[in-house]
Amino acid sequence: MIVVSEEVREALDARRPVVALESTIIAHGLPRPRNLQVALELEDVVRQEGAVPATIAVLDGRPHVGLDKEQLERIANEDGIRKLGHRDLPLAVAAGASGATTVSATALLAALAGVRVFATGGLGGVHREWTVTQDESADLGLLARTRITVVCAGVKSILDVPATLQRLETLGVAVAGYGTGRFPGFYLSDSGHPVDWTLDSPGQVADVMRAQDALDGPESALIVANPVPVEEQLDPALHARVLAEALRACEAEGVSGQAVTPFLLDHLVRHTDGASLSANLAAVRGNVRLAGRIAAAWAGA
């Protein structure tokens, strides 16, 4: 059912490092043609660290782990590419649909293919006003039952960060800051909340991964929260002001459900003159580079 590219399959068979990459950022996160340029750039960053990139998507009803250039171009340029969470995968497969995978779908397909390390921008989480909407990203539940290491810049700052951290604890998902005792806030180096554990090298992350396997506990993820460099973060004062404006606009326009996140993110891009997008891409690049190093440390066991 899952099509693993020849390059990725050969690397996995030889125990060489592989890094999974999501495709939603390509299809839905960036304008054309910059989306394809970024997709190719991120794959190149993985290769610079001696690892093999495995960008994941569903094409004509077939989940693919590892895309060639033509397939990347389809995801970047084809109209009608759906956005697929893990719950959508059976429907997309049965319908013969094509779609870009979110964090939850990417993590699931990567784990099923035997890829242990996954790099993304920011996780989904518990939404603000959760007590009213009960809106929580499917990422959290999926990561609670999937053995994969996710390198991310924390969770999107538009979310309820402390509630998300509490939910991850409840679900038993391990969280560690990379080189920091603070949980990053996607666009920001510091969300204002601490983490209980800090890891300072790819080797230490790989040691935790080995300990997960040795303990044979629940099949849950390891979140490696890697902050965007301070010099590349979105100005915190600008972030606070524009996010407050975005939240008010969201309420005034009656935006709800799955439409909330893209509405808020689009507002941030437009009202920071693209600075939020620049911080987002800086975070993704850093996460992909670190994931390549972690994958190399893990493969070198």
Average pLDDT over residues 112-130: 91
Catalytic residue among 41, 70, 156, 245: 156
Kindly report the number of other CB atoms within 10 A of residue 179's CB atom.
12
Write out pLDDT tens, residues 74-98: 999 999 999 999 999 999 999 999 9
CATH of domain 125-301: 3.40.1790.10
216 annotated as ligand-binding: no
83 annotated as ligand-binding: yes
The pLDDT of residue 156: 83
Catalytic residue among 22, 43, 49, 136: 22
**156 has catalytic annotation:** yes
190 annotated as ligand-binding: no
Q: Which two tokens stand for residue 122?
A: 């920011």
Spell out the residues 6+ positions from residue 288 whose beta carbon is closer than 8 angstroms to its own: 19, 21, 42, 45, 46, 119, 151
**What are the extents of the domains in the chain?**
1-115, 125-301
Domain 125-301 in the same topology as domain 1-115: yes
Write out pLDDT tens, residues 5-40: 999 999 999 999 999 999 999 999 888 999 999 999
Average pLDDT, the chain: 94
May I ask the CATH architecture of the domain 1-115?
Answer: 3-Layer(aba) Sandwich (3.40)
**Residue 153's closest CA among 130, 125, 113, 172?**
125
79 annotated as ligand-binding: no
135 annotated as ligand-binding: yes
Residue 124 CB burial class (10 angstroms; 0-12, 13-18, ≥19): buried
239 φ, ψ to 5°?
Answer: -60, -50
Residue pair 150/143 in contact by the 8 Å Cβ criterion: yes
**22 has catalytic annotation:** yes
Q: Could you give the 3-state DSSP secondary structure of residue 192?
A: strand
233 φ, ψ to 5°?
Answer: -75, 165
* Residue whose structure tokens are 């790819």: 202
